Homo-oligomer: A and B are copies of this chain.
Amino acid sequence: MPDKVLVYSRFPKAQMVRFGERFELMDAAGKRPNEVFSAEQLSGIRAVLTAGGTPFSAETMDLMPNLGTIVCYGTGYDGVDLAAAAKRGIAVGHSPGANAASVADIAVTLMLATTRRLLAIDSYVRDGSWAGAKPSPMMRPQAGMLGRKVGVYGMGEIGRKIAARVAAFETDVGYFSRSKHDMPYQYFPTLEALAEWCSVLMVAVRAGADTTHAVDAGILKKLGKDGFVVNIARGSVIDEPALVAALTDGTIAGAGLDVFAREPHAPDALTALPNVVLSPHLGGHTLESHVAMQDCVIANFEAYFAGKPLPYEVRGG
């Protein structure tokens, strides 16, 4: 009989196919597990699959007294109460770096699309304004990438890949992270100093209590009226109302966002703005990154059920 895995978050069916071939999936589909399964069924659960951003509390863990592992699909694990898991001897796994290239790609896509105002210029062609030689501020030349100062906040796997891509555009790359790395980019000791220096801030830091609202009104003001912010990390890292205000009153020039404070909701004040490019948390969502993430998930579950340590365990959990 195949080992049982409770699927805690709501996932597209296509992403579950390979797991279904190996394990018996019990799909809670985003509901509280005790609303879907009996206490007896839940006591038989030793392994859970979740999305890293979905809240997974101590109370939820206690619904499954025999739970031994929580495996996150993707690199993030910010929804999981790591202290509670550690206290209960639950190993937390994830897919480190499996989607880093895809996420870095969407970061650069958002950077280029916002700084070159891609949505507006596409509309200018589509609605006939170009053919009609309609005067438009959209046709005024903008600062491009050459020599532009781009700041990367966070130098994990994704931050590194963002930096490497951005540098290929003949830009000047700087970064802030907890520690200085051996890399050919200028290090800034604080986020404030990085924001003061750069004109595009790429947010690639891991979400957590220490980074919640790290990008606030003060940081946005330092970025300045020609500045852009791109966030592919988590919505929690940016003070979203402060960002909306800064975009509305011209404190900064624009933003590219793959993540939001209350997904899947993006505030109306944000979706109404012309100077943003929005993506529904699709950063890591490519065919090749899903294969890589699924490889990590399967390796974690197979190791667990074989009584071995998780190959992709969250460190410090």
Contacts and interface: CB of A to CB of B under 8 A. Distances in A.
A203 to B, nearest CB: 18
20 contacts: A12-B139, A101-B146, A101-B170, A102-B145, A106-B116, A109-B112, A112-B113, A118-B118, A121-B278, A122-B279, A124-B280, A125-B266, A125-B271, A125-B278, A125-B279, A130-B264, A131-B266, A141-B286, A141-B289, A143-B288
Interface in A108-136: 108-109, 112-113, 116, 118-119, 121-122, 124-126, 128, 130-131, 133
- Size category of the A interface is 35 or more
Interface in A3-61: 12, 14
B144 A289 contact: yes
A92 interface: no
Contacts of A144: 101-102, 105, 286-289
Interface string A277-299: 11110100111111000000000
A122 B278 contact: yes
B116 A105 contact: yes
A315 interface: no
Interface stretch (A64-72, A161-169, A192-200, A232-240): A161-169
A310 to B, nearest CB: 24
A147 interface: yes
Interface in A140-159: 140-147
Q: How many copies does the complex hold?
A: 2
Contacts of A116: 105-106, 109, 282
Given A142-B286, A146-B286, A164-B168, 14 more contacts: A101-B170, A105-B169, A109-B118, A112-B112, A119-B122, A122-B279, A125-B266, A125-B271, A130-B280, A139-B285, A141-B286, A141-B287, A143-B286, A143-B287
B285 A141 contact: yes
Contacts of A87: none
A77 to B, nearest CB: 21
A264 to B, nearest CB: 5
Nearest to A170: B101
Contacts of A271: 125-126, 128
